[in-house]
Structure 1
Amino acid sequence: MEELYTLEREVGRGSYGVVFAGHMAKTGQRVAIKRLPCSNPECIELYLQELWAMRATAKNHVNVIALHSCLLQTGPRSLKPLKPGKLPPRLVESVLKGSVVKAPPNQDGNNTQPRTNTVSRLQDRTNTVQARPKLQDKTQSDSTTPQRPHNRARKRPFQSEEEQPGPLGCLALWLVMEYCDGGDLNQYLLSRPPDPQRNHSVVKQLCSAVAFLHSLGITHRDLKPDNVLVCLTPRGPVVKVADFGLSKMGGGVVDGELTRQHFSSTCGSDFYMAPEVWGGLTYTAQADIFSLGVMFWAVLERITFLEEGTTQEQLGAYVCKGRSGWLIPLGEALWENADIQLCIPMKFKRAPPLPPPPGPAMCTLLLDMLASDPDTRPPAEQLEARVCSALKKDSH
């Protein structure tokens, strides 16, 4: 590893892996290096999905995180780059057999084992490339920030590395990606005063990124502010869609028409999942449009909540239920009652300081993106034009 990259520090840790900040040994270019321990076939399948998706996007879109290279660690002293377009045969075999295929002991080389220091875990930050500075504890100073109730089931099928049976020594995948110095979208926006022009730029960039992914037949399936990273530039923030561990590839454009693949597994993060995903129905890439709608609404109005067990605000829209004011994810609420009327703009419980609310044209578009019927949501290839049109109308 030292011959190619230098690890500087750990900057993120989640259920599936650890991310380090580092740089290329020859050029000094900053990179983020993500280590994914291959301890069971279920995790390995997710890693291969992420690798395949990131290779498909390559460096072809400014708003999608770029993969520089991938290395396979087969032992404490064996680390080698993977050839473009190739998947590690042992990992593919592990997925097909349903059990981990260990590397033969005689394949260990003489490379120095990469350093993996252990620090406290950061939940769901496997693609975060900057440690998030502590924001003010809103549970102490701002009682208006609503909280997610405890003991509510979450749909994301994650297991921590410590809970996975039968760890496999040092066998791991290392993904070397571009480094983003602005943290994730939550940290970036909530650590700054509201700026409508910045918010509009973020929304447009995300439209462009998802349209690009869908044109390649990639459905992300876990779009949320945590999985959007920010690069700081003199011209403003450049956002990057990241973390493709739950993504699926298929479909794409055939003979000029966009084909739709159907999925059945319930996965994602509860505040951003579409109603059809909550309901366990088959769904398409239009579920990503719903997730974007939740994000856009939260970004434009600065709507936040506190996830259970945390004190840090998250961007996300929701429905309040009952006298206790329990927070219900939009998708869950719409699955329970497809006729529920969403109040856009939200007139209460937004995080101060408050930006101007979205105008009528943008509110209409948000309602279309958050429709219960996925077929009535605008497709990704039309979304950017509709966002630009709505913002232009509202500016007059």
Structure 2
Amino acid sequence: MEELYTLEKEVGRGSYGVVFEGQMSKTGGKVAIKRLPCSNPECIELYLQELWAMRATAKNHPNVIALHSCLLQTGPRNLKPLKPGKLPLSLVESVLKGKVVGARSQEQSNATLSSNKRTKTSTSRLQDRTNTVQTKSKSDAGTPVRPQKRGRKRSVPEEDNQNVPLKCLALWLVMEFCDGGDLNQYLLSQPPDEERNHSILLQLSSAMAFLHDLGITHRDLKPANVLVCETAKGPVVKVADFGLCKMAEGSLTGDICRQHFSSTCGSDFYMAPEVWGGQSYTAQADIFSLGVMFWAVLERITFLEEGTTEEQLGAYACKGRWLMPLGEALSENPDFPLCIPMKSKRAPPLPPAPGPNMCVLLLDMLTVDPFSRPRADQLESRVRQALRQDAHCA
């Protein structure tokens, strides 16, 4: 293996894996290293989807996270790089058979579990220096709180499950490192800046056009899946986390209804109404999710998910004193009025409200009819036009 990596600290933990800040041993350059434990065929299928999508995007767009390499962990002390364009056949076989290939007998599993309790193993090619505790910032007492979680969340498999010794224990994705955290952390940690917000909207529009042109539907767009690199010219945002994405042959922008999906997935505050309603949906569901993000970024709208103390950027509907995701509200009532700008629900310090032309674009992105939403290849020009017209009206 040409490059060896050192794990420095844990920087994120999600439903499917753990992300570490790491270093390239030879150069000292920073990288992000994501560990995906191969504990069941359902998770493995998502990992292979993510790997395939990231290989397709490669390093070809500045607003999409770049994959440097992928390592396959075949034992407690054994990692090997995957060749470009190749997938580990044992993991493909696990997906096809619906069971993890290479699992040992129960007696061997118990023996290994007992041995692991006595001896702390480590991965030889990834030196682990992690010993950190993640803390979450406390939010403003005035931030609205959602009363209960909805059922349409990712299932949470057991993390770091070494109890079942597998032939392929984990995939390690080595990616570019983003020093600004995710979009929630970055924007809410500093005063609002209108020019910066507009730049972020244009960058996300460009990234979406690129992904849809490659035939990639993300299906889980939200601020937590947008990472930020701080540069001298300002923040560069990068769309990340392709675990729920779907790929099609050819561009999605020319025929937006060509590929349909039926599985309900994503994060509830950003899901389109057709996804909430359990209907067939297309790549246009990404445009709705992006519209929720755009609205939240422009007006600095936040909420709290039940059981958390960290603010999340996201627009929502109000039903009495409770919060409701926009997609859910529109799914139940297609004529539900969206009040743009929201103003009264914005988190301080307050940015200026979006202009009338941007409000029209947001309403177009958030319309119930997916075919009336702008396509990804039209979005960046629509954003530029709306911003320019609103600047002239000011």
Calculate the TM-score normalised by the size of structure 2.
0.90
1:286 Cα deviation (Å)? 0.1
1:254 Cα deviation (Å)? 8.7
Q: Cα–Cα, structure 1 residues 18 and 163, in superposed 2: closer, same or farther, change >3 Å?
A: closer
Q: Where in structure 2 are there 5+ consecutive unaligned residues?
A: 106-121
Matches within 5 A, 1:335-354: 335-354=331-350
* Distance of 2:55 and 2:281 partners within structure 1: 24
1:355 Cα deviation (Å)? 0.4
Moved more, 335-344 or 75-84: 75-84
Match of 2:124 among 101, 106, 112: 112
1:168 Cα deviation (Å)? 3.6
1:164 Cα deviation (Å)? 7.6
Alignment check: 8 A CA contact 1:252 1:260 kept = no
1:261 Cα deviation (Å)? 1.0
Over aligned residues, Cα RMSD in angstroms? Answer: 2.5
1:104 Cα deviation (Å)? 8.8
Q: Cα–Cα, structure 1 residues 220 and 255, in superposed 2: closer, same or farther, change >3 Å?
A: closer
Matches within 5 A, 1:1-396: 4-102=4-102, 112=124, 114=126, 134-135=136-137, 137-138=138-139, 142-150=140-148, 152-162=149-159, 167-168=164-165, 171-253=169-251, 260-322=258-320, 325-396=321-392
1:78 Cα deviation (Å)? 1.8
- Identity rate of aligned residues, in percent? 74
Moved more, 235-244 or 20-29: 20-29
* Distance of 1:92 and 1:70 partners within structure 2: 16
SS of 1:161 mapped into structure 2: coil
Please tell me the residue identity of whatever aligns with 1:349.
K
1:171 Cα deviation (Å)? 0.8
Alignment check: 8 A CA contact 1:90 1:103 kept = no
1:252 Cα deviation (Å)? 2.7
Please tell me the residue identity of whatever aligns with 2:212.
H
Deviations 1:233-256 (CA, angstroms, capped at 9, x unpaired)? 000000000000000001433997
Which residue is 1:125 aligned to?
A: none
Q: Where in structure 1 are there 5+ consecutive unaligned residues?
A: 123-132
Deviations 1:199-251 (CA, angstroms, capped at 9, x unpaired)? 00000000000110000000000000000000000000000000000000014
* Distance of 2:256 and 2:154 partners within structure 1: 29
Alignment check: 8 A CA contact 1:10 1:117 kept = no
Q: Cα–Cα, structure 1 residues 20 and 387, in superposed 2: closer, same or farther, change >3 Å?
A: same
SS of 2:72 mapped into structure 1: strand
Please tell me the residue identity of whatever aligns with 1:311.
T
1:24 Cα deviation (Å)? 1.3
Please tell me the residue identity of whatever aligns with 2:102.
K
Which residue is 2:115 aligned to?
A: none
Alignment check: 8 A CA contact 1:196 1:356 kept = yes
Alignment check: 8 A CA contact 1:215 1:258 kept = no
Count of matched residue pairs: 375
Alignment check: 8 A CA contact 1:260 1:285 kept = no
Which residue is 1:130 aligned to?
A: none
Q: Cα–Cα, structure 1 residues 254 and 313, in superposed 2: closer, same or farther, change >3 Å?
A: closer
1:165 Cα deviation (Å)? 11
* Distance of 1:276 and 1:164 partners within structure 2: 35
Q: Cα–Cα, structure 1 residues 258 and 340, in superposed 2: closer, same or farther, change >3 Å?
A: closer
Alignment check: 8 A CA contact 2:273 2:327 kept = yes
Deviations 1:151-179 (CA, angstroms, capped at 9, x unpaired)? x3231232232598973457100000000
